[in-house]
Chains A and B, each alone.
Chain A
Amino acid sequence: MTPNDNPFARDHDLCSDHCGEHPTVWDLPHVPLGLKREWLRLETRRQFLGKGVQALGWAGLATLLGRNGVAQAAESAMATRPALVPNFAPKAKRAIYLFMAGSPSQFETWDYKPMLYDMVDKDLPESVRGGQVLTGMTASQARFPIAPSIYKFAQHGKAGHWVSELFPHTAKVVDELCILKSLHTEAINHEPAILQITTGNMFPGRPSLGSWLSYGLGAINEELPTFVVMTSKMPHRTNVQALSNRLWSSGFLSPEHAAVALRAGSDPVLHLNNPKGIDGDVRRAMISGVNDLNRQLFERVGDPEINARIHQYEMAFRMQTSVPELTDFSNEPASTWDLYGPKAKEPGTYAYNCLMARRLAERGVRFTQIFLRSWDQHSNLPKNIRLMAEESDQPTYALLTDLKRRGLLDDTLVIWGGEFGRTCYSQGTLTAENYGRDHHPRCFSMWMAGGGIKPGTTFGETDDFSYNIVKDPVHIRDLHATILHLFGLDHNRLSVKFGGLDSRLTGVLPAQVIDAILA
């Protein structure tokens, strides 16, 4: 083989800051030349599709457009005007996902079960449990004593929804919510469950919901990330699971679709500030130089990953201007602090993150996900769930109210929920004041608001034990299909060839948009 045969020859396989780390197929000693050429041909076709940022969009667009006549017309027009366009007119332009990690109990929140008061400390009937396999945490319990909610419920709003006394603020805006009581999942442990609800799959490596939205729709504001994640300080720490960036990774999509994690404090995006002695002009010159080198490499080898890297350098540079403005709360009026509460001034709290989410929505960030951990109340549930509710109730109410009064709730979808449900029986000893609840995948509650959701409604029903669903089950893939639908995306058409499949957020099993909850 002469150097001319080999476009990956050593003289130019250097991505500017990853100097020749990765051998190519040309470096492998025992691969026949014919096979290498075949690989090259395939690679060229793949890279052609991925060439250029616009063309990167095209790969998704081709899939999104599908095959029908209207889409073909749009496609031909799009040939002169590349853009990421929804399949149909969307109701939601952006979403804020309030992720209650660890999984709040449905019994103390949204799924009122008065019948359980008649059955306190009686055993869960075997007919209800139906032989279900339990976790190792309660499988060996001698009995499964039924534990009704220690917190009272009352009806609120025009629709008269039952809301727990733990959420006095959210109760004031319950007419904005659609409460889903019939979510279900296969996973009974946190990591697979949280992966399934954030990425549609229990195994790591898939693009998250926010990444799919970024891939399918692109940015509203090019100066800020399309997808932002924030984790919140916890009011107490019991059974806290780790959060990792695989919950907001772009998986097999280009890395530019992964979330940018905003941190608490003076340095919200790591490594964004210029080092001492480097001013903006020098930094601009450096980034331009690096990007020029990367572009030259891209011209020669066409690897889309190079463009993702260029994109990220440019995004980081733009964020040097846009993030300080975003995180400067000094011009918020007094009414903001009255609404969100005093904790909103403390960076990293859930209240602060909710206010930040409103500011991100205003500025056109497509998808914001706030994580609040420590809802995993296997024991001491009454005390700990109260701490969690006190931490989150007012800010959640404030966010909904603030979005609504500023005209943002119409096209901003707000989602609240955890990764699974909890058991109606007590884990550990049941007393008059104390109990715990184990994981329960067969049913759990969530709510959604704004962004094309029918307000003041509930969907789905569970049995008297909130153990099994008796009406309108909603699998996580149905939830995902519905969220994509609100963004104007057909979940069947938002797909990428990966691993031999047309890979989708909703996976390979049939998923249904829940028409009944659409406004």
Chain B
Amino acid sequence: MTGAKGRPGWRWLVALVGGFALGSAVRAETTFYQARIAPIMDRHCVVCHGPEKKKAGLRVDSFEWVMIGAESGAIVKPGDPKGSELYRRITLPATEEEVMPSDGKPLLSREEIKNIELWIAGGASAEKVMADFPGAPPLARPKAIAEALAPDWTSRAAQITALEQALGVRLLPRSQVPTDGLILRTASSPARCDDAALAKLAPVADLIVEAELARTRVTDAGLGAVAQWTNLRALDLTRTGVTSAGLARLQPLRRLERLNLTDTSVDDAGVGHLRALPELRQIWAFGAKVTEAADPRVVAK
């Protein structure tokens, strides 16, 4: 420091400029925190620990907030993942009271946990870049927000149950997401399911997303009812009496993706009726009279 006394301002200036230059050089490359840690926090944590809720006095919507920690203290101990509250909470078993994310929300993936672990082990830096973490596994793409496949069925539960009992079929929710639609399932007693039964399903026409009609007594007449199920994605007509003529009725099924015609009498002309269905990806026709030349979407062998 000797000799610097007369011009401290200059020295500081150099340090400052140098610092900025260095800082911007680093920031030109996305930091590991920005690329990996911030997205994980955004996806899993910020809903409760962000500007809106600040549960336990904790915000994690920026690097600075993360390092400030919670009411109870720091959540990150640089260099020591195992000693960091953040790491401890996200690696607890799902059944532990203290596990994060809480309340049954999806836990962090193995890759996400590993990225956080490496980041803390590497000093919990805001500056380090991707190249500093060669072992960091890539994160899976965040899943697209699921589109509603059908209207919410829950308000019509009583009606659904009554139809099931009257017709001897099952109308099962595809998942606990009420807009995932219903599966029409007939495997227990396919012989009970005929064209008349399908016609009686009109009140739930908009809810049926998959129709499992293999081995039922459904014929071309029944496809008239099926054509009203405009949210249908998958239709299985294996070993039914439907014919090529009947398939012409399926034109309104603009959302149909998969059609199974195994062991039916359908031929190339029948498949021709399906040409305009925009979402149809796959037509299975083993044991039918369809050739794969009829449509590139056909599997016949």
Chain A residues near B (Cβ < 8 Å): 64-68, 70-71, 73-74, 76-78, 80-81, 83, 85-90, 219-223, 333, 362-364, 404-407, 410, 488, 492-493, 495, 502, 508-510, 512-513, 515-516
User: Which residue on B lies nearest to A74, using beta carbons?
Assistant: B176
- Name the A residues within 8 Å of B284 (CB-CB): 405-407
Q: With A74-B154, A502-B95 as given contacts, are A85 and B236 in contact (CB-CB < 8 Å)?
A: no
Of B176, B214, B238, B286, the residue contacting A86 (CB under 8 A) is: B176
- Name the A residues within 8 Å of B110 (CB-CB): 512
- Name the A residues within 8 Å of B105 (CB-CB): 68
Are B287 and A70 neighbours in the complex by a CB distance under 8 Å?
no
Given contacts A77-B155, A407-B286, A513-B109, list 4 more A-B pairs with CB under 8 A: A77-B154, A85-B174, A404-B299, A410-B282
Are A87 and B185 neighbours in the complex by a CB distance under 8 Å?
no
- Name the A residues within 8 Å of B262 (CB-CB): 405-407
Are A80 and B157 neighbours in the complex by a CB distance under 8 Å?
yes
- Name the B residues within 8 Å of A81 (CB-CB): 157-158, 160-161
Per-residue 0/1 for B127-165: is the Cβ within 8 Å of any A Cβ (1 yes, 0 no)?
000000000000010000010000001110110110000
User: Which residue on A lies nearest to B91, using beta carbons?
Assistant: A510
User: Could you list some 5 contacts between A and B, CB below 8 A?
Assistant: A78-B157, A81-B157, A85-B172, A85-B176, A406-B287
Of A76, A89, A513, the residue contacting B174 (CB under 8 A) is: A89
Q: With A362-B214, A492-B94 as given contacts, are A68 and B104 in contact (CB-CB < 8 Å)?
A: yes
User: Which residue on B lies nearest to A222, using beta carbons?
Assistant: B188
- Name the A residues within 8 Å of B173 (CB-CB): 74, 83, 85
Main secondary structure of the interface of B (DSSP, over half): loop
Of A73, A406, A407, the residue contacting B178 (CB under 8 A) is: A73
**Complex Cα gap A68–B94 (Å):** 14
**Complex Cα gap A492–B104 (Å):** 9
Per-residue 0/1 for B66-88: is the Cβ within 8 Å of any A Cβ (1 yes, 0 no)?
00000000000000000000000
**Complex Cα gap A64–B176 (Å):** 10
Closest 6 CB pairs of A and B: A407-B284, A77-B154, A364-B187, A492-B94, A66-B104, A512-B110
Q: With A68-B105, A86-B175, A410-B258 as given contacts, are A405 and B301 in contact (CB-CB < 8 Å)?
A: yes
Chain B residues near A (Cβ < 8 Å): 91, 93-95, 103-105, 107, 109-111, 140, 146, 153-155, 157-158, 160-161, 172-178, 180, 185, 187-189, 214, 236, 238, 258, 260, 262, 282, 284, 286-287, 299-301
How many A-B Cβ pairs are below 8 Å?
Answer: 114
Are B177 and A407 neighbours in the complex by a CB distance under 8 Å?
no
Q: How far is the CB of B157 from chain A (nearest CB, A)?
A: 4
**Complex Cα gap A219–B189 (Å):** 13
**Complex Cα gap A66–B107 (Å):** 13
**Complex Cα gap A90–B173 (Å):** 11
- Name the B residues within 8 Å of A407 (CB-CB): 236, 238, 258, 260, 262, 282, 284, 286, 299
**Complex Cα gap A404–B258 (Å):** 13
User: Which residue on B lies nearest to A491, using beta carbons?
Assistant: B94
**Complex Cα gap A53–B274 (Å):** 43
Are A515 and B140 neighbours in the complex by a CB distance under 8 Å?
yes
- Name the B residues within 8 Å of A88 (CB-CB): 175-177
Q: With A220-B185, A407-B284 as given contacts, are A488 and B175 in contact (CB-CB < 8 Å)?
A: yes
**Complex Cα gap A406–B105 (Å):** 38
**Complex Cα gap A219–B188 (Å):** 9
Q: How far is the CB of B94 from chain A (nearest CB, A)?
A: 4
User: Which residue on B lies nearest to A82, using beta carbons?
Assistant: B161
**Complex Cα gap A326–B72 (Å):** 64
- Name the A residues within 8 Å of B111 (CB-CB): 515
Q: With A73-B154, A404-B299, A502-B95 as given contacts, are A363 and B176 in contact (CB-CB < 8 Å)?
A: no
Q: How far is the CB of B235 from chain A (nearest CB, A)?
A: 11
Q: With A65-B176, A73-B178 as given contacts, are A493 and B188 in contact (CB-CB < 8 Å)?
A: no
User: Which residue on B lies nearest to A492, using beta carbons?
Assistant: B94
Are B178 and A74 neighbours in the complex by a CB distance under 8 Å?
yes
Q: How far is the CB of B56 from chain A (nearest CB, A)?
A: 19
Are A508 and B93 neighbours in the complex by a CB distance under 8 Å?
yes
Q: How far is the CB of B99 from chain A (nearest CB, A)?
A: 9
Are B157 and A333 neighbours in the complex by a CB distance under 8 Å?
no
**Complex Cα gap A76–B152 (Å):** 13
Are B176 and A492 neighbours in the complex by a CB distance under 8 Å?
no
**Complex Cα gap A202–B257 (Å):** 43
Q: How far is the CB of A509 from chain B (nearest CB, A)?
A: 8
**Complex Cα gap A85–B238 (Å):** 25
**Complex Cα gap A250–B176 (Å):** 25
**Complex Cα gap A223–B190 (Å):** 11
Q: How far is the CB of A55 from chain B (nearest CB, A)?
A: 16
**Complex Cα gap A202–B284 (Å):** 42
**Complex Cα gap A68–B287 (Å):** 46
**Complex Cα gap A362–B177 (Å):** 27
Q: How far is the CB of B237 from chain A (nearest CB, A)?
A: 10
- Name the A residues within 8 Å of B299 (CB-CB): 404-405, 407
Are A67 and B176 neighbours in the complex by a CB distance under 8 Å?
no
- Name the B residues within 8 Å of A488 (CB-CB): 175
**Complex Cα gap A333–B178 (Å):** 42
**Complex Cα gap A407–B177 (Å):** 26
- Name the B residues within 8 Å of A67 (CB-CB): 103-104
Which of B94, B109, B236, B286 gathers the greatest number of chain A CB atoms within 10 Å?
B94
Are A80 and B93 neighbours in the complex by a CB distance under 8 Å?
no
Are B187 and A363 neighbours in the complex by a CB distance under 8 Å?
yes
- Name the B residues within 8 Å of A74 (CB-CB): 154, 173, 176-178
Of B155, B176, B282, B286, the residue contacting A70 (CB under 8 A) is: B176
- Name the B residues within 8 Å of A410 (CB-CB): 258, 282
Q: How far is the CB of A512 from chain B (nearest CB, A)?
A: 4
**Complex Cα gap A64–B103 (Å):** 13
User: Which residue on A lies nearest to B107, using beta carbons?
Assistant: A492
Are B161 and A80 neighbours in the complex by a CB distance under 8 Å?
yes
**Complex Cα gap A89–B175 (Å):** 5
**Complex Cα gap A74–B160 (Å):** 14
**Complex Cα gap A363–B187 (Å):** 6
**Complex Cα gap A86–B188 (Å):** 19
Q: How far is the CB of A517 from chain B (nearest CB, A)?
A: 11
**Complex Cα gap A431–B246 (Å):** 66
- Name the B residues within 8 Å of A220 (CB-CB): 185, 187
- Name the A residues within 8 Å of B161 (CB-CB): 80-81
- Name the A residues within 8 Å of B107 (CB-CB): 492
Q: How far is the CB of B165 from chain A (nearest CB, A)?
A: 11
Of A87, A333, A405, the residue contacting B175 (CB under 8 A) is: A87
